[in-house]
Amino acid sequence: MAGIAPQPGIMEIDLYQGGASKVDGVEDVVKLSSNENPFGPSPDAQAAFRASASALHRYPPTDHSGLRLSIAEVHGLDAERIICGVGSDEIIAFLCQAYVGAGDEVIHTEHGFAMYRISTLAAGGTPVEVREAERKTDVDAILNAVTERTRLVFIANPNNPTGTLISDSEVARLAEGLPDHVLLVLDGAYVEFVDGHDGGAALVDSRENVVMTRTFSKLYGLGGLRIGWGYGPRTVIDVLNRIRGPFNLSETQLATAEAAIRDRQYAVWCRNENSRLRNWLAAELEGMGIPSDESHANFILARFADAEKAQAADATLKSHGLIVRNVAGYGLPQALRITIGDEAACRRVAAVLRDFMGEQG
Ligand SMILES: *Cc1c(COP(=O)(O)O)cnc(C)c1O
């Protein structure tokens, strides 16, 4: 069997580490490690999910027109330039598969999302990591890293796991500064948490080299169902549609996502609750001597004095049934990423950390 080998790059992929959800011997566990919506999906989305059960023997539609039209209406976009996928992860994979080959480079930032690297390697390309400036995307550092082999640049805005946001004018400067052969991908997984932010849609509309990805996994509370979408120039969307499986999304996914995005009242309520609780928790932590950057997402990146202290805080939280994300793998060993839970969860996190910091003296 020695002759059977995968394509170059595949064996360099480390398996994606999902957020943990169990602690042995502890009841009343709260999972705050995967940036999930603590309130779950909209009741309308749950009803649509159940209603889809009777038609499971039917193949789903291939063009996703119902969902694309709903997204277009809600966000004021051109439905013809929307593509839907199995999470935004699939849109990221399509982009790499379509535009990246052996020897090509893909830029992502220092603390960027793991899927950029994974999908780049899966396509045979070379991931290029660019440093951030104090946990913020650094446009000049990215522009300096571009070579003639660069094909894609991924930035998440707001970024994960940092929660930081760069301005529209900085994003526009990045798009403007890239050479013709480079496509800029704006990952807007958390943009729904920023009131009034278009995720870069206007920039997509005004340029030929910008694509935006979005997801139903975060604000809409549908991470378990796997639905995302992308918005880009007609030429790019046409390319991606050629490699998209015709039945990549089930009727259940399509109908549930459509109901979720149509329930504006619930989405706005979730966004407001997230902002209120995030601001409260950040201020509480700050008061205990645990700083964080201003977060624009549904998590806080809590910074401790050093890696040892972060690990001790993680262990203490865990022993109290609070599972947060250790982000050492993202180059942030002195920090913990804490998803904003419901009010009771946020209060528990604050209480446990207050005791922890007190004991540390
Ligand atoms: C959660 C997340 C996504 C969303 O992934 P899905 O495949 O849509 O669930 C994309 N990008 C970033 C940065 C994320 O944190």
Q: How far is CA 217 from CA 185, 204, 221, 266, 281, in A?
A: 18, 22, 5, 15, 22
Ligand 1 centroid – CA 44 distance (Å): 23
Q: Do 277 and 343 touch, CB atoms closer than 8 A?
A: yes
Let me know the angle formed at the C-alpha of 186 by 190 and 112, rounded to the nearest 5 degrees: 70
Is the distance from the beta carbon of residue 119 to the nearest atom of ligand 1 less than 6 Å?
Answer: no
Phi, psi angle pair for 185, to nearest 5°: -110, 120
Which tens digits make up the pLDDT trace of 255-299?
Answer: 999 999 999 999 999 999 999 999 999 999 999 999 999 999 999
Tell me: pLDDT of 20 over 80.
Answer: no
Task: Report the pLDDT value the prediction gives residue 27, as an integer from 0 to 100.
Answer: 82
Is the distance from the beta carbon of residue 99 to the nearest atom of ligand 1 less than 6 Å?
Answer: no
Tell me: pLDDT of 251 over 80.
Answer: yes
Q: Which two tokens stand for residue 19?
A: 């957020």
Q: Which two tokens stand for residue 143?
A: 């522009």
- Mean pLDDT of the region 167-195: 98
Task: Report the pLDDT value the prediction gives residue 84, as an integer from 0 to 100.
Answer: 98
Nearest CA, atom 1, ligand 1: 189
Our mutation pick for probing the ligand 1 site, out of 113, 191, 296, 339, counting the most ligand atoms within 8 A of Cβ, is: 113
Is the distance from the beta carbon of residue 105 to the nearest atom of ligand 1 less than 6 Å?
Answer: no
Is the distance from the beta carbon of residue 215 to the nearest atom of ligand 1 less than 6 Å?
Answer: yes
pLDDT band per the 50, 70, 90 thresholds, residue 111: confident
Tell me: pLDDT of 330 over 90.
Answer: no
Domains of the chain, earliest start first: 10-40+265-360 (3.90.1150.10), 43-263 (3.40.640.10)
pLDDT band per the 50, 70, 90 thresholds, residue 361: low
Q: How far is CA 124 from CA 2, 119, 187, in A?
A: 21, 9, 21
Q: Which two tokens stand for residue 356?
A: 């922890």
Task: Report the pLDDT value the prediction gives residue 177, as an integer from 0 to 100.
Answer: 98
Tell me: pLDDT of 167 over 60.
Answer: yes
Q: Do 290 and 334 touch, CB atoms closer than 8 A?
A: no
249 by Cβ neighbours in 10 Å (0-12 / 13-18 / 19+) ranks as buried
- Mean pLDDT of the region 6-23: 83
Dist. CA 71–CA 82, nearest whole Å: 8
* % of residues, the chain, pLDDT over 90: 90
Which tens digits make up the pLDDT trace of 196-221?
Answer: 999 999 999 999 999 999 999 999 99
- Mean pLDDT of the region 15-20: 76
Task: Report the pLDDT value the prediction gives residue 24, as an integer from 0 to 100.
Answer: 81
pLDDT band per the 50, 70, 90 thresholds, residue 22: confident
- Mean pLDDT of the region 12-18: 82
Is the distance from the beta carbon of residue 192 to the nearest atom of ligand 1 less than 6 Å?
Answer: no
Tell me: pLDDT of 242 over 60.
Answer: yes
Q: How far is CA 258 from CA 39, 72, 306, in A?
A: 18, 11, 44
pLDDT band per the 50, 70, 90 thresholds, residue 1: low
The mean pLDDT value of the chain amounts to 96
Is the distance from the beta carbon of residue 19 to the nearest atom of ligand 1 less than 6 Å?
Answer: no
